[in-house]
Amino acid sequence: MSLQNPLLKVENLSHYYGDQIGCENINFDIYNGEVLGIVGESGSGKTTLLKIISGLLCPNAGSVAFDTRIEGPRDIYKMSEPERRLLMRTDWGIVYQNPKDGLRMNVSAGANVGERLMAIGNRNYANIRSDSSDWLEKVEMDLERMDHFPETFSGGMLQRLQIARNLITKPRLVFMDEPTSGLDVSVQARLLDLVRGLVSQLGIACVIVSHDLGVMRLLSHRLMVMKSGKVVEHGLTDQVLDDPQNPYTQLLVSSILPV
C-alpha cells in the first residue's frame, strides 16, 4: 500500500445498546479513492457502524480518525462539535437510504444542491446557480426541473439529487446507506453506473452499506461482512464473493437467487 495516511482509520470500535451489541471490536482503514462495502443481514450492525463512522453516533469504545486536510489524522469524537459539523458539510457526504432524510423537501432542487455552498459562505447567486446546474447535469437531471420541488420527483431522481447535493463541495469521503433500495432494477442500474463513474472520476473514497451483493460486486473494491455486530470476513470484493471462507458468508453468497 502507499505511504499516505489512511483517510479514515477505525480502531477497536464497539458500541452497545444496553446489553445488546450494536457492533463490537471493529477495525479497518479506508484510503483515498477506495470504495468499501459493508454487507450483512438486517440487525447485523451495519447501520450502527455507519452512523458511528459518519459522526452521528458517539461509540462506547474505540476511535475513528479522519485524515483532515490541515491537521492530519484526528479522532472525530475528540474534535469540538463545530469542527465536526464543518467536516460533515465540507469533506464528507452522507447519502441516506430515505432521500427525505437527506433533502429539504420544501425548497427547490437547485436550492438543495446549492445549500452546502451557501453553508460554507458562498454569497454569489450566479455562481451558486451555475455550480448547482453543473452538478444536476452530472447526475443526469433535466435542468428544467431545477426549480421544481423534490416532492414532484421520482425515487431515482431524489437519490440522484441527494448525491449531487453531497458531492458539490467535492468531499473526500462519502457514506451511503442502502443507496439503491426501494428503486426498481433499471433505475438501480443507472444509479449504480452513475455512482461508479463519479466515484472513480473524482477519486472519492466511499463507504457503502447494503444487503444487495450485486450492488457490492459492481461498486466496492473491498467488502466487509458483518454478523451480530462483528466483522466475520473482510477482503477484496471478488475474493470474498467468489471464495467465501466464513460459513455465514458462504450462506449469504449461496442465497442469491439465480434469475
Partner 1 sequence: MTASSQNKNTNGSMEKPEILEGYNFAYLDDQTKRMIRRAILKAVAIPGYQVPFGSREMPLPFGWGTGGIQVTASIIGQDDILKVIDQGSDDTTNAVNIRNFFGKTAGVDTTEKTNKATVIQTRHRIPETPLSKDQILVYQVPIPEPLRWLEHRETETRKMHALAEYGVMHVGLYENIAHYGRVTTSYDYPVQVDDRYIMSPSPIPKFDNPKMDKMPALQLFGAGREKRIYAVPPFTKVKSLDFDDYPFTIESWEESCALCGSSNSFLDEVITDDEGTRMFVCSDSNFCKEQIEKLTNAPLVQNGDSS
What is the rounded CA–CA span in Å between residue 193 and residue 215? 10
**Residues 6+ away with beta carbon under 8 Å from 234:** 28, 222, 223, 224, 225, 240
User: Measured from the CB atom, is 121 or 258 closer to partner 1?
Assistant: 121
Give 73's strand partners. Answer: 67
The least CB distance from residue 21 to partner 1, in Å, is 29
User: Measured from the CB atom, is 107 or 251 closer to partner 1?
Assistant: 107
DSSP 245: -
User: Measured from the CB atom, is 47 or 132 closer to partner 1?
Assistant: 132
The least CB distance from residue 197 to partner 1, in Å, is 28
The contact set with partner 1 (CB under 8 A) reads 81-82, 85, 104, 106-108, 110-111, 114-116, 118-121, 123-126, 128-129, 146-147
The least CB distance from residue 123 to partner 1, in Å, is 5
- Whether 33 and 204 have beta carbons less than 8 Å apart is answered as yes
**Residues 6+ away with beta carbon under 8 Å from 173:** 7, 8, 30, 66, 91, 92, 93, 204, 205, 206, 207
The least CB distance from residue 117 to partner 1, in Å, is 8
Nearest Cα residue to 138 out of 177, 98, 165: 165
User: Measured from the CB atom, is 42 or 123 closer to partner 1?
Assistant: 123
User: Measured from the CB atom, is 60 or 127 closer to partner 1?
Assistant: 127
End-to-end, the C-alpha distance of the chain in Å comes to 38
The least CB distance from residue 118 to partner 1, in Å, is 4
* Residue 253: how many other CB atoms lie within 10 Å: 16
Q: Alpha carbon 62 to chain centroid distance?
A: 21
What is the pairing mode between strands 35-40 and 205-209? Answer: parallel
The least CB distance from residue 149 to partner 1, in Å, is 10
The DSSP code sequence of 168-186 is: TT--SEEEEESTTTTS-HH
What is the rounded CA–CA span in Å between residue 100 and residue 51? 17
The least CB distance from residue 83 to partner 1, in Å, is 10
User: Measured from the CB atom, is 8 or 113 closer to partner 1?
Assistant: 113
User: Measured from the CB atom, is 128 or 209 closer to partner 1?
Assistant: 128
